[in-house]
Amino acid sequence: MTKILMIDDDVELVELFRDYLQTEGFQLDFSHFGLSGLQLALTGAYELVMLDIMLPDITGTEVLNRIRQQSRIPVLMFTARGDDVDKIIGLESGADDYVPKPCTPRELVARLRAILRRTSYLEDIATDWPVIAGPLKIWSERRKASWFDKELELTSTEFNLLETLANNFGRVVTKQKLSESSLGRPLAHFDRSIDVHMSSIRQKLGCQSDGRSYIQTVRGQGYQLIKG
C-alpha cells in the first residue's frame, strides 16, 4: 500500500480520511503536531505528506520550509477555502499543490493520485538520455535537472513545469496545458498556482546578461522557455 503521512490536528478529519484512504489502497499515518510530523516526514518512509497550514505548535508553512531544506518529498497542503494568501504562501514555500478545507475524501484521493502519478520515481537506467534545451538538461526518469551543468534543486511540481517547457523549447505553452501536465488538473478560474511556481523557477534559473528572464510570459497565452 502507498504510505502517506498526514500532519493535522483535526482528530475527526484524520480518522475520516484514514478509513477512506485505506479502502482506496493507501496506508495513512498521522501526527497532530508539526514538530513530530516533521520528524516522521524526514524518515524516508512515506511517498507523500499531507500538511495542514494551521497546527498547534508551529505553522504548517514552517514545517514545509524545514522539509524542503532536506527533502523533495511531495507535499499537499490543506488551506482555508477561499484564502488565496494561504495558497500562495504554501506554493512559494515549496508545496506541490493545495486542497481547500473542507474537501471530500473523493476529491482528496483524486489530488493524491494526480501528484503520485507525476512524482513516481523510476529506476535509473542507461537509456535515460536527457532532454537538452539550451543550458538546461532534464533526465525524466531520474527526475533530475541541471542548469549550466549545475544540478537544480526543484520541487516535483517545479520539475514537471520545467520539463514541459523544455519539451516545448522556444514555443509558448499555455497555462491550461501546464496545469494539466504538471498539476494533473485543469486550470481553475483565478488559479495562480502556475504563476507562483514559475516565479520560484525563475529565481532558481537567474537572469540573462541583459536582465531578461529565461522564462518569458506571453500575455494572454502562457509561458515560453526562450532560446536566447
Q: Which domains does the chain have, with CATH numbers?
A: 2-119 (3.40.50.2300), 131-225 (1.10.10.10)
First to last CA, the chain: 46
User: What pLDDT is attached to residue 81?
Assistant: 63
The answer to whether residues 147 and 197 touch, using CB atoms and an 8 Å cutoff, is no
- Record the cell numbers describing residue 102, joined without a space: 473542507
Can you list the residues of the chain whose pLDDT is less than 70?
A: 81-83, 119-128, 228
- Record the cell numbers describing residue 159, joined without a space: 520539475
Report pLDDT digits (tens) over 95-153: 999 888 888 898 899 889 988 887 664 333 334 678 999 999 998 877 889 999 999 99
User: What pLDDT is attached to residue 127?
Assistant: 47
- Record the cell numbers describing residue 155, joined without a space: 520541487
Burial of residue 186, with CB atoms counted within 10 A of its CB: 0-12 exposed, 13-18 middle, 19 or more buried: exposed
Count CB neighbours of 213 within 10 A: 18
How far is 161 from 178, CA to CA, in rounded Å?
6
How far apart, in Å, are the Cα atoms of 34 and each of 16, 196, 221?
20, 24, 40
The predicted model scores a pTM of 0.68
Bridge partners, 215 (sequence order) = 225
